[in-house]
Structure 1
């Protein structure tokens, strides 16, 4: 998929921003699609800053669509999964400000689970715009890191780029493992 996308971006520069944003949104809607590889194509095609803007737009589009899909399915699924009823009870006890910052806090360290958090939020009662802004605020730091340092490592050469990918893999593995251990301790 990455090769096909790279060819389209190179051959059709007039539509490449839209194609890139749609591809990046698919990386959220279909969790097995690795979004970071699509981000790297964005860096190579558009540069770090414009690529970041297009990538962020694509991620936000994917997150909003995932949220809305889950929101549409919320009630039929809630009747079948009692845990969602407890989540709704908890939501009734916390302030709107707490809900917002809880979602931001979930977004910051959870980029490996970004796609799932978008769907999961749709099952809650959080409002669309609150979800939108919390997702944007929580996602920008990681995306800036990936785009800026990904661009710098591409400029320095292939081995620096491989090192950057290795560092990203280690960070995501540590964060995922830490989250896994926290869930196991409960």
Structure 2
């Protein structure tokens, strides 16, 4: 039951994002960086706050692939501000995922994620200090399933302080690589606002 609700919520979020992107495109918001900047400026701090909240929710309830959210932050707010808004939102969401899993325990993992994924990372990460070292490594690199790993960490004996330190210190590298790397790809392949 939980898995179906989770999938339905993710699909609804994806549909709403696609509809919003279409409306922005129809309104000419995506025609240039200036048009986008002018549009977002009318919302003041509301635009960054909504984006940070979106990124936080995105960790707990995946709506878009994480890399696309990072790309959106850089496109919407520029390289540095986009990076910081991505970082703040993703870190808040990572803390929320840990708290939810800490509260709900292992049955939550089993109801939301495929058994193969759970078994793979259970075997790979181990427990105790080994888990903490591997967890930090996987959070640092940009290709691991970070959102799942945050939920998984919540079901272990890892202390809040250690978890928070790993998230705050290891997330910037992967967020920067996603943000800047995908921006470069978008500019080179799609000619995004040259």
Q: Under a length normalisation based on structure 2, what TM-score does the superposition of the two structures give?
A: 0.62
Q: 2:76 aligns with which of 38, 42, 45?
A: 45
Q: Which moved more, 1:23-32 or 1:65-74?
A: 23-32
* Uncovered stretches (5+) of structure 1, i.e. residues with no partner: 162-186
Off by >4 Å, runs of 4+ in structure 1: 5-9, 75-78
Counterpart Cα distance in 2 of 1:121 and 1:110: 17
1:152 is displaced (CA, Å) by: 4.2
Structure-2 change in CA distance of 1:110 and 1:125 (3 Å): farther
* Uncovered stretches (5+) of structure 2, i.e. residues with no partner: 1-16, 30-35, 110-118
1:75 is displaced (CA, Å) by: 7.3
Q: Under a length normalisation based on structure 1, what TM-score does the superposition of the two structures give?
A: 0.65
1:19 is displaced (CA, Å) by: 0.5
Q: 2:171 aligns with which of 126, 139, 149?
A: 139
1:24 is displaced (CA, Å) by: 0.6
Partner in structure 1 of residue 10 of structure 2: none
Partner in structure 2 of residue 56 of structure 1: 87
1:144 is displaced (CA, Å) by: 1.0
Counterpart Cα distance in 1 of 2:18 and 2:92: 20
**CA-to-partner distance for each residue in 1:113-145, whole Å, 9 max, x for gaps?**
111001000000101121111123332212111
In the TM superposition, what are the counterparts of 1:34-183 in structure 2 within 5 Å? 34-74=65-105, 91=127, 94-95=128-129, 98-109=130-141, 111-153=143-185, 156=187, 159=190
1:157 is displaced (CA, Å) by: 5.2
Counterpart Cα distance in 1 of 2:145 and 2:70: 16
